[in-house]
A = this chain, B = another copy of it.
Amino acid sequence: MSQTPVLIILAGGASSRMWPLREKSLMRFGTQPLLISQLQRYRALGFTEAIIIANPENEADIRTLAGQMSAMAVQVAVQPEPRGMGDAILRAEPLLAGRTQTPVYINQVHDVVDDSLHLNLLTAYQTNPGASYLAGYATETYFPGGYLIVTGDGRITGMIEKPAPENRPSNLVSIVAHIHSSAGVLFDAIRAEYARDVPTDDHYERAMDALMKTLVFQVVPYTGHWSALKFPWHVLDVMNYYLSQISGQMVAESAFVARTATLVGDVFIGERVKIFPGAAVVGPAYIGADTIIGNNSLVRNSMVLNHCEVGFTTEVARSYVADHCAMHACRVLDSVFAPGVNFSAGCTTANLRIDKGPVSSVVKGQKFNTGRDKLGAIIGRDAFLGVDVMTMPGVKIGEKAQVGPGTHVHKDVPEGIRVYVKQVLGMVEGDA
C-alpha cells in the first residue's frame, strides 16, 4: 500500500503585491484563518502530516496557528530570504531527514480549490505510486500562467511559462498542486539547479523539467474552482468561494434578529450578532461574531467579520470587511477592508467606471487591469475616512491613512498620510 504524501505548504511568499493588505495566511474567510482552513481541509481528506514553509516575518504567527491543529502533525520551516520556490521547498528537507523515500504533496496556502483536485491527485497517486502527478487546470480561456506539455496518454513532458495565446501547448494551466513520489529525488534535483549558474529563479520548474526526462509525470486535469490570492482584489474571489460553501441559514442562538429584519438565502450569522429593525442580510453572506447590522442596513454577497458596526442605512455589497471596521450611512461596494477601517457617513466606494470598462489598479508602480467590471476600494488597516469621502474604482488606501471629509480619492493614498480637500468658499450677505 502506498504512503500518504507529506504536505509541503508554501506560505512564505512575499505579500507586497497585496498592499495595503498583509499576510495572506492569516486572513479569515469565515471563522478560521486561511491557513487553518486549508489544513483542516487536508486533514479531512486524509492527510496526516504537513510542513509549512514560512518566512521570517510571518513565522511567529504561523507557528501559533500550526500549534492549534490537532490530529495532524504540523511542522514549520522558515525560508530566510526570498530565493524562489525551489529554495522554499528545500527548507522542508531537514524535517524529513531519514525519510527520503516519502512522497510529498506541494501546495501553496493561497491557492483555493475544490476538494476534488486534492482527491483526484491522491487517488491517481495511490493507483500508481511509481509516478509523480501535477494538477492541470483545464480552460479554453487564455490565462497568463504556465502551460503543461502533455502527450496523448497524459504524460507531462514539459512546461511553458506564459506562452502567447496562439502558442499554448495544451489547455492545461499549471496549478501548484504536485505530488512527487520521492522527496529525496526532488530535493536532489532542486539542489542541482541551485548549483548551476542560471540567472532566473525558476529552479523548481527546471528541476521538474530535468526529472521529466527520466521519471513519469502524469497530469490530473481539473475544472473546478481555482482562485489565488496574488493581488488584493483576489480577496473577493476567495471570499466568493468560501461564501459558496455556506448552505442554508445558520443563525447563532445568541444572535438577535429584529422582527422586521430579513434574512434571505444562505447566510451565516455568528455569535451575539445583532441585526436591527429593517436591516437585511442577503446570502450568500457571512456575519462574524459581535457584529452589529444597524437599522435599515443591507449586507449582500459579502463577508463582514467580527466586532464590526454596519451603521444605519449602510450597504455592504460584494465586499470583504475584516474585524473591527466601523461604517455608517455609507456604501461599501465591491471592496476589501482590512481590520479597523473607519468609513464615515456618506462615504461611497464608486465601483463602476463612467465608460463601464474594466477597472485598473496600480501595483508597485505598474497599472494592472483587474479584469473586474466592478471594483471599489482596497483599504488598509486602521485607515480613517471622514464623512462624504468618495473613492474611485480600484483605488487603494494605506494603513492608518486619513482621508478628510468630502475628498474624492482618485489615486492610491500611502500609509500614514492625511489627504484633504482645499475647498474654496464664497461668503455674501444672505438674501432671506
Interface size of A by CB at 8 A reads 59
Q: Mark A88-109, 1 if CB is under 8 A from B, else 0.
A: 0000000000000000000000
A417 neighbours in B (Cβ, 8 Å) = 427-430
Copies of this chain in the oligomer:
3
Shortest distance from the beta carbon of A156 to any chain B beta carbon, whole Å? 46
> What residues of B have a CB within 8 angstroms of the CB of A276 in the complex?
280
- Partner of A421 from the list B333, B420, B424, B428 (CB cut-off 8 Å) is B424
**A278 close to chain B: CB less than 8 A:** yes
- Contact call B350/A387, Cβ cutoff below 8 A: yes
Partner of A426, one of B258, B419, B427: B419
- Contacting residues, chain B, for A404 (C-beta < 8 A): 354
Q: Does A164 sit at the interface, judged by CB under 8 A?
A: no
For the complex, give the distance between the alpha carbons of A298 and B418 in Å.
32
A331 touches B354 (CB 8 A): no
Among candidates B278, B296, B345, residue contacting A331 with C-beta atoms closer than 8 Å: B345
Chain A residues proximal to chain B, CB less than 8 Å: 258-260, 262, 264, 276-278, 280, 295-296, 298, 312-313, 315, 328-329, 331, 333, 344-346, 348, 350, 352, 354-355, 382, 384, 386-388, 390, 392, 400-402, 404-408, 416-432
Instruction: Offer 26 A-B interface pairs, CB within 8 angstroms, sorted by A.
Output: A258-B262, A260-B278, A262-B277, A280-B295, A295-B298, A328-B331, A346-B346, A350-B387, A350-B405, A354-B431, A355-B431, A382-B432, A387-B390, A400-B432, A402-B432, A405-B408, A406-B408, A418-B427, A418-B428, A418-B431, A419-B425, A420-B425, A420-B427, A421-B423, A421-B425, A422-B425
